[in-house]
Amino acid sequence: MDAARRVFFSNGFVETSVDTIAAEAGVSKQTIYNHFGDKRALFLAVITAVQEEAAAAAQGMPAPFVAETDDIELGLRQLARVMIETALVRDVVALRRIVIAERARDPELLDAFARPRSAFDQVFVEGIRERVRLGVLDVDDPAVAARQFLILTVQESLLRSELGTRELSADEIEQIVKDGVQMWLRAYRVRD
């Protein structure tokens, strides 16, 4: 898996051969076929491994917006930071570029890459619904509001970092978080 990751990230999906991965790993090509079946299945295993590592890193960070918190702005800022840091992990960035490049040939790769985020999105949508029920937010469509939050924070960080090819400073991330959360709350927070 480590060898496959290095070769895929260096060469991309199309330019990578099972022979090259086998040589990098110091195993026979048949060993790879026995374990994974083919190059695509190996790449899907790499996607899963990278996602699990990113999720494990993010689990160590609190997501107070999803839990109960009195300070919705603080909770959203913490959530945005976690989401941005996860989106900008080096291996996640490399993987995103490969699956985007392969989208026309194999759209299911992008679906596999995005699947864990779909589970997170549902939790976030439920968190928004709960804040609506509590009278904190005024949101007609929580799924749209969740996507807008991602656009204002995560997508903004991807744009500013040139899809992760340029490292953002802590100050840049903090500014993206502050601006995105404040704009989102101006649209959806219930005013007294």
The model's pLDDT over 126-180, given as tens digits with 9 standing for 90+, comes to 889 999 999 999 999 999 999 999 999 999 999 999 888 899 999 999 999 999 9
Write out the two tokens for 27: 């195993």
Contact status, residue 33 vs residue 18, Cβ threshold 8 Å: yes
Q: Which residues pair with 189 in a beta bridge?
A: 137
Specify the 3-state DSSP secondary structure of 136: coil
Domain chopping of the chain, boundaries: 2-188
Whole-number pLDDT of residue 170:
95
Half-sphere exposure at residue 4, Cβ-oriented, CA atoms within 13 angstroms: 24
Span 134-147, pLDDT tens digits: 999 999 999 999 99
Whole-number pLDDT of residue 70:
72
Kindly state which CATH superfamily the domain 2-188 is placed in: Tetracycline Repressor, domain 2 (1.10.357.10)
Residue 181: CB atoms within 10 Å: 24
- The reply to whether the predicted model has a pTM over 0.95 is no
**Percentage of the residues of the chain whose pLDDT score is greater than 90:** 60
